[in-house]
Amino acid sequence: MKQVYQEAKEFAKSYIAPYTDQTDRDARFPEESFKELGEKGFFKLLIPEEYGGFGKGLEEHAQACHAFAETCSTTALCYMMHNVAVMCLVTHGSDELKKRVFTDIVENGKFMALAYSEFGTGTHFYKPEMATEVNGDLTTFNGKKSMVTSASHASYYLVLAPSVEEGKINNWVIPLEAEGLSFEMSGWQGLGMRGNSSCPMNVDHVTLDSSYRIGAEGSGEEQVFNVVAPFFITGLAAVYGGTALHMFEVASSHAVSRKYPDGSSLAHIETVQIHLGNIYKQATAAKAMTMEAARAGANGEADALTKILAARVFASEAAIECGRLAMRVGGGKAYNKALPLERLLRDSYAGQIMAPSADVLSVWLGKALTGQMIP
């Protein structure tokens, strides 16, 4: 994959677009798209070459997520979380764990998901309430995760749980087939992102040996802030930037094709031109900020964190504003769901609340800009 963004765009036309409407209408996980993502190699984008992957990084991650979101926000979001989970293994996993999971991804098209959020901690997912009991090399987990994207469809779930070292946490991989793992599939009734199957996950006396722990004992917080945060936050910026650009494409196409009896189009109305200009400005600004943040993060630049935080907050808010304006351009056809703008507007609202929420990230951005500790 040398031209990740373009390859992802072409993939989306053939293997994501045909299922996008059904994904939203039926609140159905895009199984067909994910099967093809595995077969076409996108699941191994960030897996190192020595394990059969492409060995790409933060920039390619952002490019793929943005390209997919320009067709389907739900698919992009679920794919983004797989990449974040992969990077935790890439940076902290043992060779044994990497071989076990990466082989399944590369050879069998399996994928990963994040199971971090809990009912008691909400957007502060890095403070888990999950209970653990250690007996020699075995750890037993009990608890309930609140919103697990790709629930029951992913083959591996990353779970944060308390460490035996007081005040610290661990990051674990729980396989789908683990005894005691179950999902409340009826618990997801999302306003938008309806196909992401983000339902509760019950962890009832799930027991794993230490080979399923990612990294050294107590290293979970380090992973959250040094790996999960940059890849997750950048990925979300890409998802919502892509959603905003999708809105522009739909609104502008409708404005040009909507004809009046005299032969003029909706695009000839100055108010519509202003709306389209504002949508385009915000959508392309979100994309530019995201790609610049990914570049800075990939190169370890000093201001990478502030750029990543700013891009995520801006893209999330821009998508909502683009949706508001695009619905005006679409008018009755958009309101009556003859255009996908209503769906995209609903998808965009997830961006402001998804952990860490836009409010939390805005505080983090202020702290980062003034040299304070995060969180």
Pairing of strands 131-135, 199-209: unpaired
Q: What is the pTM of this model?
A: 0.97
Chain centroid, CA 233 distance in Å: 8
Strands, E assignment, 179-285 = 181-183, 199-209, 213-214
- Residue 112 has a pLDDT of 98
- Residue 249 has a pLDDT of 98
d(CA 167, CA 221): 10
- Residue 375 has a pLDDT of 79
Q: How many CB atoms lie within 10 A of CB 260?
A: 10
DSSP category for residue 226: I
Contact 255, 265 (CB under 8 A): yes
d(CA 237, CA 283): 11
d(CA 273, CA 147): 40
Closest CA to 194 of 21, 54, 38: 21
Closest CA to 366 of 306, 285, 297, 296: 306
Rg (CA), the chain: 21
Six token digits for residue 82: 């797989």
CATH 3.90.550.10 assigned to 221-369: no
Domain map of the chain by residue range? 4-111, 131-218, 221-369
What order of strands is seen across the sheet that includes strand 131-135? 131-135, 138-148, 199-209, 181-183
d(CA 320, CA 322): 5
Contact 171, 223 (CB under 8 A): yes
Contact 231, 284 (CB under 8 A): no
Q: Which helix (H) or strand (E) holds 162?
A: strand 156-162
d(CA 130, CA 201): 12
Greatest CA separation for the chain: 81
3-state secondary structure of 62: helix
Q: What class, spelled out in words, does domain 131-218 have in CATH?
A: mainly beta
Residue 108: which residues within 8 A CB-CB, separation 6 or more?
38
CATH 1.10.540.10 assigned to 4-111: yes
Number of residues written out for the chain: 375
Local confidence pLDDT in tens for the 375 residues of the chain: 789 999 999 999 999 999 999 999 999 999 999 999 999 999 999 999 999 999 999 999 999 999 999 999 999 999 999 999 999 999 999 999 999 999 999 999 999 999 999 998 876 788 899 999 999 999 999 999 999 999 999 999 999 999 999 999 999 999 999 999 999 999 999 999 999 999 999 999 999 999 999 999 999 999 999 999 999 999 999 999 999 999 999 999 999 999 999 999 999 999 999 999 999 999 999 999 999 999 999 999 999 999 999 999 999 999 999 999 999 999 999 999 999 999 999 999 999 998 889 999 999 999 999 999 987
First to last CA, the chain: 36
Tell me if 4-111 shares its fold with 131-218: no
3-state secondary structure of 113: strand
- Residue 61 has a pLDDT of 98
Residue 144, beta-bridge partner list: 202
Sign, Cα dihedral of 97, 102, 105, 106: negative
